[in-house]
Amino acid sequence: MLSFLLFLLNFPHINASLYHPLVVWHGLGDSYSSPGMLNFSSMIRDIYPGIFIHSVFIEQAQDKDKRAGFFGNVDHQVGLVAEQLAAIPELKGGFDAIGFSQGGQFLRGYAERYNHPPIRNLITFGSQHMGISDIPLCHPRDLLCQASRRIIKSAVYGHWAQSNLVQAQYFRDPTNFEAYLATNNFLVSINNEVAFSRNRTYAQNLASLNKLVLVLFSRDTTVVPKESAWFGSERSGKGHVLGTDTNPQGVLVEEKSKIIPMRLQPLYLGDWIGLRELDERNGVIFEVCEGEHMQLSGCWRDLVNQFVGK
């Protein structure tokens, strides 16, 4: 037996069959083949020698893939990724997945809308599951980010922005909720927020996950509010949870509470996306990484050990 195990360790292509494959979707301002993403994959292979890892891309050219994180139609991009994953033989039996920042809610969108091949465990780091209510500042030298930010701030709920600016497609303004519901295509859809168009398949697919691991960064100032990573959102100015079922104003909450937690969200209470079902069988895991947005330090390693590969 010992000689057989040593044999396996010396042949990574055989080792790969011992682990569930992994799919990774990078965040805003990054690309699938950046040094950081390549290094992350390398560190995972140190833990699981020979594991198959696929890094999602929209464009194969690195600069164009980075640009696609700012400019493009997210519905179209998620559809492209579904075709991409379905064409990879190593993934046909299912896979674990890690989404960094916006890549996390995009992978959730894939799980809800397609999920063929299926995701087993999904880990999202600092992802904007309930959208963002402000556009964070950009680095002074990041001209691509600055251009995107200016356009979003000027016309976030215009038709062009909602079809072409990635961040606008998950901008959820609690002070202008009606415009969000009327114009947004991506986040409104994957959160099943409009009653007459609610898709039950989304709930069935998300509830089919083994684990959904939601990672929040303790000092995150990039994702506003940072609790969006845990399906939290800002209340309206009148102190309401915003929802669209029997009461258009939503559920009244205490004025001192600025953030509505996941289990008080209408999408959770009504189980619009299968989140409540998943949570009630202990399938939703809340984790914290200490630090700023995407400051992974060592917090990723324990999560990879628990929820990837095995």
Question: What would the pLDDT profile of 94-104 be if each residue is shown by its tens digit?
Answer: 999 999 999 99
Report the catalytic residues: 101, 220, 293
Q: Measured between alpha carbons, how far is 1 from 17 in angstroms, rounded to an integer?
A: 18
Could you tell me the CATH number of the domain that includes residue 179?
A: 3.40.50.1820
**DSSP conformational letter for 28:** T
Residue 49 domain-assigned (yes or no): yes
Q: Is residue 279 part of a domain?
A: yes
A 10 A CB-CB count for 232 gives: 21
**Whole domain around residue 150: which residue ranges?**
21-307
The pLDDT score that the predictor gives to residue 7 is: 42
Strands 211-217 and 53-55: unpaired
Regions of the chain where pLDDT drops below 50: 1-14, 246-255
DSSP sequence for 213-259:
EEEEETT--SSSSGGGGGT-EEPPTTSB----SS-TT--B--TT--E
In a domain, 235, yes or no: yes
* pLDDT score at 146: 77
Residue 175, pLDDT score = 86
Q: How many domains does the chain have?
A: 1
11 domain residue, yes or no: no
